[in-house]
Amino acid sequence: MRNIKLVLEYDGTDFVGWQSQVNGRSVQDEITRVLSQILQEEIKVTGAGRTDSGVHARGQVANFRTSATMKIPQLQQALDGLLPRDISVKSTNDVDNKFHARFDATSRKYFYSISRRPSALRRRFTWVVPFGLDPGLMKMAAERILGEKDFQSFCKVAAQASHYRCFVTISRWGIEEDTMTYEVKANRFLHGMVRALVGTMVDIGRGFTTLEQFDAIIAGRDRSLAGTAAPPQGLFLEEVTYGETTNTHSTTESDDPIAD
């Protein structure tokens, strides 16, 4: 039995999310359907992160097992030809049978894009924020979440998690002309965490929330204290990392909820 790893990118606009659901089209279902058609056997695909509805990916990782003997170049070619246009496979490789896309991940990196003006071409991939923002304050807020902290204030209330502590190694805003981008990397993420952080930091940039209040929001461990979640179209799962240790308290993802 082979174990095959895929690195994927997809436009999440028309999906209900990564995970198979009864109420709409999912990325997982599309990939499973195409692989089962190509390999002529029932396939079960496991993803590294269960991105939510409308969220995109440039570096989603998945794996599946198969008894088929099809060579990797032929499998890649078949995937390229049969997958819908809003999903593409960046790489396909045989991996060790022990590899698990979700449980073996040691960190994930997300990227969020904000446009300072409306854009017809980028409307599916960015949040338009036309009002004034103070990038300096937003950068200082981003630095405040580095290290290991409790992020319960930025987790959806209905989410089930064994704990709310995450170790953040990258948290920074970048500015280029009329675009602001947020990059964040951590050993684990909670359901709604990145979008809640972005929404709250935009409130800081607008002057609605102070840096001292941001510290109090983190300490308060209450989702009602934080700002409104940023919309999904600006968010990308950028990268999933394997084989690195984030810190001595790093945990597996086995009990984590959807991490957007």
Topology match between the domains 2-95 and 106-242: yes
Q: Are 153 and 169 in contact (CB under 8 A)?
A: no
- List, for residues 163-193, the tens digit of each pLDDT value: 999 999 999 999 988 999 999 999 999 999 9
User: CA 136 → CA 111, 122, 133, 193, 214, distances in Å?
Assistant: 19, 25, 9, 22, 15
Domain boundaries, the chain: 2-95, 106-242
* Of the options 3.90.1010.10, 1.10.220.150, 3.30.70.580, 1.10.3720.10, the CATH number for the domain spanning 2-95: 3.30.70.580
Instruction: Report how far residue 108's alpha carbon sits from residue 103's, in angstroms, rounded to the nearest whole number.
Output: 12
**Where does the pLDDT of residue 251 fall: very low under 50, low under 70, confident under 90, or very high at 90 and above?**
very low
- The pLDDT of 14-29, averaged and rounded, is 93
- List, for residues 43-75, the tens digit of each pLDDT value: 999 999 989 999 999 999 999 999 999 999 999
**Where does the pLDDT of residue 253 fall: very low under 50, low under 70, confident under 90, or very high at 90 and above?**
very low
Instruction: Report how far residue 62's alpha carbon sits from residue 251's, in angstroms, rounded to the nearest whole number.
Output: 19
Residue 205 CB neighbour total at 10 angstroms: 23
Q: Of residues 11, 52, 104, 256, which has the active-site annotation?
A: 52
Q: Is 96 a catalytic residue?
A: no
Please tell me the CATH code under which domain 106-242 is placed: 3.30.70.660
Whole-structure pTM value: 0.92
